[in-house]
Amino acid sequence: MTSAAVTVEDVRATYGTKAALDGVSLTIPRGSSFALLGPNGAGKTTLVNILCTLRRPDGGRAVVAGADVVRQPTKARRSIGVVFQDSSLDDRLSAWENLEFHGLVYGLAPKVRRERSAAVLALVELEDWRDEIVRSFSGGMRRRLEIARALLHEPEILFLDEPTVGLDAQTRQRIWQYLDQLRRERELTVLTTTHYIEEVESADMVCIIDHGKIIAQAPPDDLKAQYGTRWLHILPRDAAATAAILARYPNAQPLGSHSLALPADENAVTDAFLAEFRDSLSEVRFQEPTLESVFLSLTGRELRDRADGQRDAEKAAGKRGGRR
């Protein structure tokens, strides 16, 4: 992992008067696992779109697998595989037909298409459903097929934009097992954006972006050591207790709709809080430094501040049933 798979230099992007990316620079070593974390609207997807040649940067330079994404977009595309947050499969076609079409787009010879299609379907355990129409697939099966399709032309770099959103924990685990296997076998470089922070605890490098700027970048353990905070997670008994706690401790961070988190690195502060509000709490627990606490400390927002639409998608995926 001595050479760079991706190099980003002072990249800028705007939507009207809003800066989506404000001078972003980073380097991703070849064969590494790189995680890009940030709240909704932080600029993650914009950066991925630029690296995938779907959007031109308004300033700066990005190089993917040795190809400038603006001057050599075709060369860059041949070196990358992409799994988008929203499904891009043709659900009127079978799994095999989706792969066949992708192979044709990339100019793969018929024999190569057949061999690679069979191989990637076996990798994601979908060979028994190769001739089934995608419309009948569950959410997890579609995601696995999208990963298979992204790997068909044997890319050097795989971009994953929220690849496991809406999937159950078992399917998410299987997907990461596939990707870890490929990284070991082929030195595949993987860039991931995700709301599930536990999925990137083992990443080689974690980059946290907010308001279009990189605010921290290091291996997970280094981030925890430098920015991690011990938190006291509390569940007030009612709205009145929540209001009283927030008035007394304005640095408390909301977690979801009811819970709060207080920095708990100093025992004296924690003792004083519990002495004052113990009877107003339904639940109290400590959380040692994690990537989630790093994110919370740096951005003031919880990584799992997923939009209601995303939660609805997760519920829909669970209700849809179908094959697993």
- Which neighbouring-strand residues pair with 18? 15
List the 80-83 sheet strands across, edge first.
Answer: 80-83, 157-161, 189-193, 33-37, 205-210, 213-218
Same domain as 145, residue 91: yes
The residues near 153 (Cβ < 8 Å, ≥ 6 apart) are 78, 81, 102, 103, 106, 108, 116
CATH number of the structural domain spanning residue 45: 3.40.50.300
From CA 91, how far away is CA 153, in angstroms rounded?
21
Judgement on whether residues 199 and 249 belong to the same structural domain of the protein? no
> What is the Cα–Cα distance from 230 to 63, expressed in whole angstroms?
38
DSSP 99-153: HHHHHHHTT--HHHHHHHHHHHHHHTT-GGGTTSBGGG--HHHHHHHHHHHHHTT
Q: What's the burial of 33, exposed, middle or buried (CB within 10 Å: 0-12/13-18/19+)?
A: buried
The tens place of each residue's pLDDT in the chain, 324 residues long, gives: 448 999 999 999 999 889 999 999 999 999 999 999 988 888 998 999 999 999 999 999 999 999 999 999 999 999 999 998 888 899 999 999 999 999 999 999 999 999 999 999 998 899 999 999 999 999 889 999 999 999 999 999 999 988 887 777 887 888 888 888 888 888 899 999 987 888 888 899 999 999 999 999 999 999 998 888 788 999 999 999 999 999 999 888 888 778 998 888 778 888 999 999 999 999 999 888 888 878 887 887 654 444 334 434 434 434 444 444
180 and 33 share one domain: yes
Could you tell me if 200 and 157 lie in one domain?
yes
Residues 179 and 236 in one domain: no
CATH code, domain with 248: 3.30.70
Domain end position, chosen among 224, 246, 275: 224
Distances (CA, A) of 181 to 119, 121, 197: 14, 15, 20
pTM for the predicted model, two decimal places? 0.77
In a domain, 294, yes or no: no
My answer on whether 19 and 114 are in the same domain is yes
Domain residues for the domain of 264 are 230-288
Query: In this structure, are 218 and 272 located in the same domain?
Result: no
Domains: count for the chain: 2
Query: For 101, phi and psi rounded to 5 degrees?
Result: -65, -45
Q: Is residue 44 within 8 Å of residue 55, measured between CB atoms? A: no
